[in-house]
Amino acid sequence: MSEPADDPKTVDEAARLLRAGRLCAFPTETVYGLGADATDADAVLSIYETKGRPRFNPLIIHCADLAMAERLAEFSPLARQVAALWPASLTLVLPAWPGNGLADVATAGLDSVAIRIPDHKLALQLIAAVGRPLAAPSANPSGRLSPTTAQQVRNGFTGKVPVLDGGPCRAGVESTILRVEGERLVQLRAGAVAREEIERRLGLAVGVAEKSAAVAAPGMLASHYAPNALMRLNTEPRPGEAYLAFGATGSFDGPTRNLSPSGDLHEAARNLFSMLHELDGEGAGIIAVAPIPDAGLGEAINDRLQRAAAPRS
Ligand code: TXA
Ligand code: MG
């Protein structure tokens, strides 16, 4: 992949690339994914190469419908109850069926598999047109900000990855990941669907995984989703810094974005990565970030901000 890529103009063109074992970035409601045929080990390996992922970490497998998902993993009655929320920004970690056809590298050789049915028309049409599940991490070089527009994908990979353009992503942060543990639901990653909302819709409690118990994977690394700039959280900006504000703010002279002037956490989640991209693009050396309430979607937003601010190795 050294030549600039021609972007597919239609779902069918994108599907042809993927069926031929090529990568293609595609929109989902959360963030853009770097897609590959999840049954093709070489195609999945080129995801790791292209992202520069340091290790083979398990990928989320995107399905077009429940029938496709059921060929990959075993659904307990509780898993089925959660899956009734699909299509959604919700990923379920389930026991993998042996011989389910997935490339070992896609699941990092684990006996579990993370699956979701995205809530995005183009994504669903694309998976259906390929006719196979798609492995897709966020379409950004490893450790960097997740892309919420096609242009951010092109910038991240200097135009070398073809992108199916579906406009900006609605949710703007990655899916919430749940693991079904017997009769218990455990959240492994806070994401685009707030834990409280899942609890409300299912009428069930959702636990939170202990940090140390989480699978070692990129989304779980302390430093991740990092902009070029250094970050200072829960604070007011100093002269010379850039400011990522939330809610009503005083005046500030430097580069400023407001995640949501009205203090709406959905709007803030949608704007998070885009605004960090923008402030980064303006050459900010340090981005000061206003406090964000930790309830609802604030849990996912604060998680991503903490990883973006963590010391880099
Ligand atoms: O919204 C999203 O989820 C986006 C879009 C493209 O769908 N995808 C995404 O994928 O965020 P990625 O590769 O950046 O995140 C995959 C996460 C990893 O952090 C890993 O912890 C978790 O999924 N994961 C995958 N398989 C797992 C497994 N078997 N057990 C536990 N966690 C798993
Ligand atoms: Mg990612």
Q: What is the reported pLDDT for 196?
A: 96
What pLDDT does 99 receive?
Answer: 93
* Distance between Cα 190 and ligand 1 center (Å): 11
Q: Is 58 in the pocket of ligand 1 (CB under 6 A)?
A: yes
Ligand 1 neighbourhood includes 27 CB (under 6 angstroms): no
Whether 148 is in the pocket of ligand 1, judged by its Cβ within 6 Å, is no
Protein residues within 5 Å, CB atom, of ion ligand 2 = 138
Question: What's the pLDDT at 218?
Answer: 44
What pLDDT is stored for residue 216 in this prediction?
A: 45
Centre of ligand 1 from the C-alpha of residue 132, in Å: 18
Per-run averaged pLDDT (10 residues), the chain, 313 residues: 80 98 98 98 89 82 98 98 98 96 87 96 98 97 94 95 97 96 93 97 93 50 78 95 94 94 93 90 92 91 90 70
**Residue 59 near ligand 1, beta carbon < 6 Å:** yes
Q: Which atom of ligand 1 is nearest to 116's Cα?
A: 7
pTM for this model (two decimals): 0.87
Ligand 1 binding pocket includes 136 (Cβ within 6 Å): yes
Closest ligand, as measured to the CA of 189: 1
Residues 216-245: b if buried by 16+ CB within 10 A, e if exposed: ebbbbbeebbbbebbbebeeebeeebbbbb
Task: Return the best residue to mutate from 91, 117, 225, 297 for the ligand 1 pocket (most ligand atoms within 8 A of CB).
Answer: 91
Of the listed ligands, the closest to the CA of 119 is: 1
Q: Whose CA is nearest to atom 6 of ligand 1?
A: 33
Contacts of 203 (CB under 8 A, 6+ apart): none
**Is the shortest distance between the CB of 176 and ligand 1 below 6 Å?**
no
114 lines ligand 1 (CB under 6 A): yes
